Structure 1
Amino acid sequence: MGWRSRGALLFLANGLIIASTIVFTMGFFRPMPPSSASKAPRDRRTFAQKAPFEKVVFLMIDALRSLIRSGAAIPFTVKTGSPSLTRACIKAMTVGSASMFLDVFHNADDGPGTPEPMDTWLVHLKAAERGSLLFYGDDTWVQLFPEVFDRGCPISPLFVPDIDSPDLNVSANAMMELQRDDWSALVLHFPGIDHVGHMGGADSEFMALKQGQMDAIIRETYEALETEAHLDSTLFVVGGDHGMDRWGGHGGASDPEVSAAMMFISPHFKSLNRSYESPAVPTAGTFDYYTVMQQVDIVPTMAGLLGVPIPSASIGVFIPQLLDLWRDSKDQVNLVLENLEHLRALSCESDTGMAACEIDLDWHNVPHESLNERSLGELSLMSKELQSKLKDATAGNMQVPLLHYGIAIAVIALLLAGITCKSTPPLSKNFMVLNLFQLGHGLTLLFPFLVEKEHLFWFWGSTVWMGWVIFTTGRSSYMLGLGNCSTLLLHILSQRWNIHDQEAAEKVYSMQSLFDRRPLCLWFLIAVTLLHTSYTFAVHRRRNVTRDAREKPLLVFAHRAVLLAVLLFKFASAARAGPGLIHRAPEWLQGIILEQLPLTQMAQLIFVTIIGTAANVGHLPAVELPALLEVLNLYLFMQTIPGNIPLLLIYRIQLEWIVSSAANLSAFQVCFSIVLFTHSAFFAFGNANTIAALRYTEGFNGLQAHHWLLSPVHTFCSNYAGPIWWSGNGLRLLVATRQGEHTGRSDFCEHLGLRTVFVAYGLVGAMGACYLLREEAVVWTVMAPKFLYTVLWTVPFHLLFNMAMPIVLWVGGRC
């Protein structure tokens, strides 16, 4: 089979990989049925005689953990669903529906068009015509409910580096609106704490200051409720949409991510004669400071407190601690019974997947006097049981036939890609290694606890492989050289670079924890990494200059200038995120770094210079692959967080050693090496199979606002900087196996075919695991995030960096 025919089959195989991913994703992340996702409001009477409040100030603090507050408040620790993302949490607090993983795809924006109207307590409050509905803050609310709010100022929260402007805008408008009397709901959403977390983690130097700002806003709002007559019947609700882990991430199901504070505040609560302690340590779980409530329970509680019907898709249960606001026991009973009847009616909907109504209630003939505190508790327990069943029934709904089609198409793609590979004939040694390795990886995906610790599979696999290469390609079969041992030890060290045990983050040793205590050591290693890159580029340029081509010293100078600018940019960015880094520097120098350096313009200049350098290198008459790769490394330095930049030096040392031994490696072994080191680098950089591991800090380099294309591209390259480095620089192994000869089209086609085989095999394994575990509870908390990462590996990474980038570098470098 010629290289043209192989190329055509390879093109078809990659097309089928994309098609299978789309088909399986459509079946796996199928939207919830209408009865549990969104419904038009329906007329339902409210049983309670009199609601205690006419208005509400609903204040959301993005990414608020369970913090201790004081005042006339009833505090709770609220538990969100998974994924713990802003969009899903807002729907839980307004619609009352269970979280679904599909919200991950829509968290940034709903996309074009108008979203389907959803039944919320906000809609019912607007229908009551008590006044306008106002909103200020995170524009996710306006995207979800475009026709609900009468006035306000929605702002985009996607530009993470801005930690102050959005909050100042919201607070200024809030204080102004509190003086007016023409509204019934004032919704405020402050994104500042979330931005601080994403920039510097939960322990950021700016976190205490930002929390102090939120304290001041809450205090001023409460004082307005006490002093302004038109706010006398106003309920003040304060809480977080979700929590955050130690590194500022969220989206998963860990306790820090799903725990947030929630308080119902009003001067009228003082009449209940309740007092709450302010515990310094949690009473139960890691962040359980007060009574635990589910986030969806906010919806029926808000409906009862404001005297409006419960939204039709709500699976929440009225919070029993607030029943004492109604003095008449009949009103308390009616609230509980209405909630229970609503849940029973929802369970009877055919598209919820529940076979029949769980209970048959007829309380119209039940004397309210016979219902005491104990029976109210029993009714609440019945409501909780129904809630649990409804949550399971509506959390997600797969379309199994599409799963079958997706898996079948992926298998066909795998077979077509396998046909193009000459180095893996059936029953050969390479064929056996390929299948045993991929089957082993697929089996680990069937165990959720191994999915959460997938890094161990790739760490151990790459370490064993390096050991095998050392023993089979070393100069002596009896003694290991110092260089071989050093390379293996550096690889093991790279695996300890970041913490992977989120449950015991404080107890696990990592290089990052060392750098947190000794930041100068980190910046010394960063400087060494950049100096080594500069030296390597200069060496490659001298080697590539022929007798007919004159060397261009300005090109080497430009490369070094960019490296110096990158070092200055990374240091200044880190100092602004953590001013403690330069607290010992002279004040004039701190002022320059923290205030005067135009980082956005500097990043833009660096990117333009990188593009210009790449263009000049590509047009040189003696260009080769290593020079192009050194230009790629400049961009990767920009998109790598400072703590991970020294890893690229370790990878360079590993690569140089493997290149020196690559003459004895086959095409399959070269591809296998790249696959192992690519995935190992992904986890060594601190990534994991959870949404909370995504980093956003470097996604805005050179941008003054969120950009629909550049921000996602920068963010993706930041999180996949290690794999991108190995995918590009690993091509040097392919060149080295030809012992200095130019790699032919057939050899290069073989390499691309093997890369496609590994990707298709991994896709089939992930699909199979998700299909087999589709009925398990972990499918949405563990397997859904894993499959999302598989999609990222399969589509953007594979197409751009496994296929397109090697082709560009191969053609440009004429290797």
Structure 2
Amino acid sequence: MFVYYVIAVLSILLYLHGFFPIPARPLPQSIRNNNTETSSRYQKAVIIIIDALRLDFISDTTTPFLSKAYKNTGCFIQVKVETPTVTLPRIKALTTGNVPQFVDIIFNLASPTKVEDSFIHRAHVKGKKIVFYGDDIWVKLFPDQFTRSEGTSSFFVNDFTEVDDNVTRNVRLENARNDWDIMILHYLGLDHIGHVYGPKSPLISTKLREMDSIVEEIYKSRGNTLFMITGDHGMRDSGGHGGSTYPETNVPLLVLNMPCVNDTFAQIDIPANLAILLGVDIPATSIGQLQVSLLGHLNLSEFLQALKYNAILLRNKADLCGENIETANHFLDLFLLNNDKGLANDAIRVYQTCAKTISERLLKSSVQQNLDSLIIATLIALIVLLKILQNISAVESASRVHRLEQAAMLGMLVLQFVGLHFYVTLVFIATTLFLFYQNLTCFTAKHVKGVRKSFLTFMSVLHPFIFMSSSFLEEEHQFWYFFSNTFIVFNIFANKLKSWFFLFVALRFVRTINQVGDKWASVPDLADWLLQNDHRFFLQLIFVVGLVLSYRCNSLFTSHRIIKVLDGVILVLIYAYRMVSNESIMLGQVLWLLIFVKFVFVMSNGDGFLPVWILIVNLLLKPHNAILIPICVLASRLFHGILKTETLVLAHWWLGNLLFFAQGHDNSLASVDISAGYVGLREYEPVIVFPQVLCHTYALPVLSHLLLFTNKQIDVFESLSVFVFFRLYVIVIVFMVTFIQRHHLFVWSVFAPKMFVEASHFGFLFVEVCCYYLRGLINK
């Protein structure tokens, strides 16, 4: 079956490739001439990006200088941010004026490639000297555009001070110089605090006052300088970002030292307006609109020329409003001859209407899916799903040439990645339909009637159909909570065991630890209460209880006295790491070394990986989540004591999914805890950070699988087939739903993130499967 698992992975990658195509780089061009030139009113500009600056972070209390300054010398703009709300796409939107693709999430974690055209490029060509300090993503995107620069990694989220102090140090040096025209600063500390502690931490207000004082310092040292202070994205109520909630997609833009009016507009409008203000070309990539709230202080002729320039630039990207723009040009010419303000107003109205129409059309068409790839990927995933079901159900396959069938599917997937002629694609689709029909005919009613006899199987089959509703998809955790407790209630009445009632209470308790989902994430939960300074004793208490019970759990799976002592030492040091040493880097490295020592010992003794994984999970999880580990072990022990083999496998599948959400995850990318990747690290090391983040994210599902395999009567590879089947089944339904809903209003904010989450689930499960297959080969 392993080859089919590989085919499933490739089909998922093909679907992602077809749904999130990597956009072609636009060729820089300029249509400006001397008649459309507007002179710069500002000799210098300071642009400050405060990462994760939410709309409500600007107030008289937290930012007294900014609150007073924008009222006296500028304006406050509410900026609408597109998803995904992560740094790289937002920097691109702020500089190019275009909507970055969802695939930029991957580039955000890897090494971003340089941008071909942007406001930065246009200013550089104009001869303006630009200096930059802050997030090193800017240096990678614009490697040749800055006169002076110094970047800092944005991924080391445990750094709240040095990352900003480095920027401020350079700012003070630049204040003593006068050889630059534009200074861009990107502060990261606020975002890092949000990732680790959330927006309600007292550290947030401290950091905001620090940012406020820095802006005041720069402001008072500069005269006729244009100031723009904004955030690249916001911060969700539970901390982090990447989703589509209101606090993540609405940020402030404070403009100082310029007559302007409070307003609301899109983030992609900023580069075009900034270009006009500084007298440089609008980037060819821009699909933004010019805003009268920012440019209303220009004289009427200059404002009209700017509107004309932007309208023509937009028209070159989409063949719309040609006649209307010509009419507006005629009004403009008559105004220049007669100085009739009525004609000027008519021209303004037509230009703005056309710019809005074209911009909205370009926004909607910014992503074009490859429908052929989506269809072929879905059909091949369905074929693999049927193959796995045949294996689980012991159904004889209709195809007796498995190797040829596998080769055909692999060939179609690989060739589809490179792009094919339309007729070849039709042949591929016909072939996959034939293979699907051939494998489907193997099943009869007797093969599936058993589904009705198992509550967990029946609900697992029904589960992904809730994804047709965006609200159910956002609140998927409720499904797992409700039906898991229903299953336990059934067993309480059937078996009349007090321990099952205790498990029911325990699972009801875990729901209170972390509020997740779109509608309830902002509601205070037990974790919020425990993380308050006044309740630190209770946080320590629940952490100690979790560690002690974890020690007891590990004792169930090992009998060696030295290992038990080592477990105790490691768990005590984990407590010290979290509660005493303020997450000391050195102590974190010592803990990883001790865990590795235990790994070597248990592998040599053949005790299995479970005792090691329990220690790893304790190290990576937040203190308030440590109690989830013994609850998982308790549930597994009860399942082993009463359930039949078939139900036992599905019960552990459900347990892993339930605890995945209980840990604080949901179908938003913002729920991924990046800070978990820095245990024992001094700086951003992607080779180490990514595995730690993934292990933290899937800690409890993997724990439930390992607990299942402690039962010697369980066939590991057959159980893995069940897990792969249901995960692939969910992905196939998600593929279908996303294909149907690809024009839905919430496709990028709800359905696309779910696709990423499920693809990540399957990817990590595939790694787990590979480990077991590799161990099987070694044992042979």
What TM-score results when the alignment is normalised by the length of structure 1? Answer: 0.82
Q: Which residue of 2 aligns with 1:689?
A: 667
Check whether the contact 2:554–2:614 (CA below 8 A) recurs between aligned residues.
Answer: no
Q: Kindly state the Cα deviation for residue 106 of structure 1 after the two structures are TM-superposed.
A: 0.8
Which letter does structure 2 place at the counterpart of 1:635? I
Question: 2-side partners of 1:359 and 1:31: how far apart?
Answer: 33
State the AA in 2 paired with 1:170. Answer: V
C-alpha distance in structure 2 between counterparts of 1:525 and 1:163, whole Å: 27
**Contact 1:438-1:762 within 8 A present in 2 as well:** no
C-alpha deviation, 1:557, in angstroms: 1.0
Deviation at 1:450, TM superposition (A): 1.1
Paired with 2:190 and 2:694, the residues of 1 have a C-alpha distance of 23
1:617 corresponds, among 598, 602, 605, to 602
Distance (whole Å) between structure 2 residues aligned to residue 162 and residue 599 of structure 1:
12
Q: Unpaired runs of 5+ in structure 1?
A: 1-9, 227-231, 277-289, 349-353, 475-479, 543-551, 573-592
Which residue among 737, 758, 776 is the counterpart of 1:790?
758
Offset of 1:509 from its aligned partner?
5.3
Q: Match for 1:616: what amino acid? A: F
Q: Deviation string for 1:454-513 (max 9, x for gaps)?
A: 1112222322333344445x2xxxxx2322211122222223321125445555655654
Distance 2:648 2:303 in 1: 71
Say if 2:156 and 2:678, in contact at 8 Å, map to a contact too. Answer: yes
Q: How do 1:751-766 and structure 2 match up within 5 A?
A: 751-766=719-734
Offset of residue 811 of structure 1: 9.6
* Contact 1:344 1:358 (C-alpha < 8 Å) held by counterparts: no
* Distance (whole Å) between structure 1 residues aligned to residue 323 and residue 87 of structure 2: 32
8 Å CA contact retained: 1:134, 1:186: yes
Distance 1:678 1:294, change over 3 A: same
Deviations 1:204-234 (A, max 9, x none): 22212211221111111111213xxxxx3x3
Identity of aligned residues (%): 23
Give the one of 752, 756, 770 matched to 2:738: 770
CA distance in 2, matches of 1:617, 1:811: 19
Specify whether residues 87 and 51 from structure 1 end up closer, same or farther in structure 2 by C-alpha distance, changes over 3 A only: same
The answer to whether 1:124 aligns with 2:122 is yes
Whole-Å separation in 2 of the counterparts to 1:712 and 1:248: 19
Kept in 2, the 8 Å contact 1:123–1:148? The answer is yes
- Secondary structure of the residue that 1:346 maps to in structure 2? coil
Residue 607 of structure 1: CA displacement? 1.1
Separation in 1 of the partners of 2:375 and 2:344? 53
State the alpha-carbon separation in 2 of the partners of residues 145 and 508 from structure 1. Answer: 42
Q: 2:386 aligns to what SS in structure 1?
A: helix
Separation in structure 1 between the aligned mates of residue 776 and residue 635 of structure 2, nearest angstrom: 22
Q: Which string of whole-angstrom CA distances, capped at 9 and with x for unpartnered residues, describes residues 77-126 of structure 1?
A: 21111111111111111100013211111112335xx54x4221211111
Deviations 1:256-286 (A, max 9, x none): 00121212222xx3xx5x8x9xxxxxxxxxx
Distance 2:531 2:203 in 1: 20
Which residue, out of 777, 800, 806, partners 2:767? 800
State the match for 1:660 in structure 2: 641
Equivalent position of 2:77 in the other structure: 76
Paired residue type of 1:522: L
User: Does the CA contact (< 8 Å) of 1:192 and 1:210 recur in 2?
Assistant: yes
Count the aligned residue pairs.
708
Alignment-derived partner of residue 459 in structure 1: 481
Q: Is the 8 A contact 2:124 2:130 kept in 1?
A: yes
Q: CA deviation at 1:32?
A: 3.4
Summarize the Cα distance change of 1:361–1:73 in structure 2 as closer, same or farther, 3 Å threshold.
same
Q: Is the 8 A contact 1:85 1:250 kept in 2?
A: yes
The CA distance in 2 between the partners of 1:170 and 1:92, in whole Å, is: 22
| Equivalent residues in 2 for 1:7-46, closer than 5 Å | 10-32=1-23, 34=25, 38-45=26-33
Q: Which amino acid aligns with 2:42?
A: F
1:354-381 Cα offsets, whole Å, 9 max, x none, are 8x86954343322222335576356434
Partner residue in 2 for 1:569: 577
Q: Deviations along 1:489-547, whole A, 9 cap, x unmatched? A: 222222332112544555565565466463323322221222222234345444xxxxx
Residue of structure 2 equivalent to 1:637: 618
CA distance in 2, matches of 1:124, 1:390: 22
Q: CA deviation at 1:43?
A: 4.3
**Is residue 497 of structure 1 aligned with residue 513 of structure 2?**
yes
**5+ unaligned residues in a row in structure 2: which ranges?**
60-65, 396-442
SS in 2 for 1:78: strand
Q: Which residue of structure 2 aligns with residue 100 of structure 1?
A: 101
Provide the residue aligned with 2:502 in structure 1. 486
Distance 1:430 1:413, change over 3 A: same
Q: What is residue 603 of structure 1 aligned with on the other side? A: 588
Q: What is the CA distance between 1:178 and its match in structure 2?
A: 2.7
Cα distance 1:181–1:541, how it changes in 2: closer, same or farther (>3 A)?
Answer: closer
Conserved? CA contact 1:93–1:296, under 8 Å? yes
Which of 271, 288, 291 aligns to 1:319? It is 291
- For the 8 Å contact 2:28–2:283, the answer to whether it is kept is no
- Find the residue that maps to 1:325 and give its secondary structure: coil
What are the Cα deviations for residues 379-400 of structure 1, in whole angstroms up to 9, with x where unaligned?
Answer: 4344223322221111x22101
Distance 1:656 1:296 in 2: 54
User: 1:175 and 2:172 equivalent?
Assistant: yes
Once the two structures are TM-superposed, the CA of residue 681 in structure 1 deviates from its matched residue by: 1.0
Stretch moving more, 200-209 or 531-540: 531-540
Q: 1:430-459: CA deviations, max 9, x gaps?
A: 445587545422321121111111111222
Quote the Cα distance in structure 1 between the aligned partners of 2:704 and 2:776.
15
The CA deviation at 1:813 is 11
Confirm or deny: 8 A CA contact 2:530 2:624 kept in the other structure.
Answer: no
1:392, 1:703 → 2: CA distance?
42
Kept after mapping to 1: 8 A contact 2:311/2:325:
no
Q: 1:41 to 1:176 in 2, by over 3 A?
A: farther
Q: Write the deviation string for residues 266-321 of structure 1: whole angstroms up to 9, x where unpaired.
A: 2xx3xx5x8x9xxxxxxxxxxxxx52221111111111101112111211111211
Q: Distance in 1 between matches of 2:490 and 2:377?
A: 36
Look up the equivalent residue of 1:711 and give its one-letter code: V
Residue equivalent to 2:42: 53
In the alignment, structure 1 residue 715 sits paired with structure 2 residue 693: yes
Residue 260 of structure 2 corresponds to residue 307 of structure 1: no
- In the superposition, relative to structure 1, how do residues 88 and 722 fare at CA in structure 2: closer, same or farther (>3 Å)? same
Aligned pair partner of 1:196 in 188, 193, 205: 193
Change in Cα spacing, 1:748 to 1:127, as seen in structure 2 (3 Å) is closer
CA displacement at 1:17 relative to structure 2: 1.0
Greater CA drift, 458-467 or 371-380: 371-380
Q: What is the aligned partner in structure 1 of residue 235 from structure 2?
A: 244
Deviation at 1:637, TM superposition (A): 0.4
Aligned amino acid, residue 92 of structure 1 = A
Quick check: 1:143 aligned with 2:140?
yes
1:628-669 Cα distance to aligned partner (Å, 9 max, x none): 41221000101111121112222222122212213xx13x32
CA RMSD, Structure 1 to Structure 2 (Å): 2.6
Contact 1:60 1:241 in 2 (8 A): yes
* In structure 2, C-alpha distance between the alignment counterparts of 1:498 and 1:168, rounded to whole Å: 33
For 2:288, the aligned partner's letter is G
Alignment check: 8 A CA contact 2:553 2:633 kept: no
Matched to 1:122, the amino acid is I
**5 Å matches for 1:552-567?**
552-567=560-575
Aligned-partner residue type, residue 677 of structure 1 = L
Residue correspondence of structure 1 range 338-737 to structure 2 within 5 A? 338-348=309-319, 359-366=324-331, 367-368=334-335, 369=340, 370-372=342-344, 376=348, 379-394=351-366, 396-422=367-393, 427-428=446-447, 429-431=449-451, 436-472=458-494, 474=495, 480-505=496-521, 507=523, 510=526, 512-513=528-529, 516=532, 518-542=535-559, 552-572=560-580, 593=581, 599-620=584-605, 623-625=606-608, 628-662=609-643, 665-666=644-645, 668-732=646-710, 734-735=711-712
Task: Map 1:109-120 onto structure 2 (within 5 A).
Answer: 109-110=110-111, 115=114, 117-120=115-118
